[in-house]
Structure 1
Amino acid sequence: MKFKAFPIFFVSFLALGLLGLFLAQSTYLENKGYDISSLQFTKSYVLNAIMALIVFFAIYIFRDKYRDLLGFFFLGGSLLKFALFFIFLYPGFNQDGSLERLEFLVFFVPYGFALVLETFFLVKLLNTV
């Protein structure tokens, strides 16, 4: 993988992976009889995609100047994702007083995919710089 192509590969894998997960998870939930519009489903995927892009490009842009701090950028991005979860998604999930397993998975399936992809590309980036 060429170093200059990292952003193209990351965006491609992120978009295709999240789209595939979105379609698979929404199909599964609809087949089980859940109304995905009431689960903030799309909002969760969009939030995770935007945050993954921000974290990746922050790491990519500052890879030379702040090489020793890239891990902290990564951790800070994860902290920011959780903060945004509690600001934008948790109030809707917690309206009934509890966070159900289904609501948990609506956020953490795309979060987990994006996290694994970010980690993979961060390792590749650190090994090539």
Structure 2
Amino acid sequence: MDEPHLIDAFGALAQDTRLQVFRLLLSAGPDGLPAGEVARRLGTPHNTMSTHLAILSRAGLARSRRESRQVIYSVDLETVRGLVTFLVQECCGGQPERCAALLDAAMPASSCGPLPGSCQPACAA
């Protein structure tokens, strides 16, 4: 990712409600959630939520698709990958074994397991 896109993405996440929306969509996985459901779960008025979802979409963090009368939002995992890559690119001076604690914190063993429809990976036993 180039620097302007990184700045847009981090800027979009630098607001409480949008960060909550992002985390909710991330937990929903690739199936995403209808915009109304996102608003309901976070207790945010629909018109306010539309603005937040639009900002996340413009920043490349969320994408939408129409299913009948609903607009479904999900996290754009490629953008998330770009953000994470940027953050850890220089981690530990090219010695990945020194970053084990960081990776363990990001992917605790409790999140492991092959879950259908989930973005959680299966962990090696």
Q: TM exceeds 0.5?
A: no
The structure that is strand-richer by fraction is: 2
TM norm structure 1:
0.30
The structure that is helix-richer by fraction is: 1
TM norm structure 2:
0.31
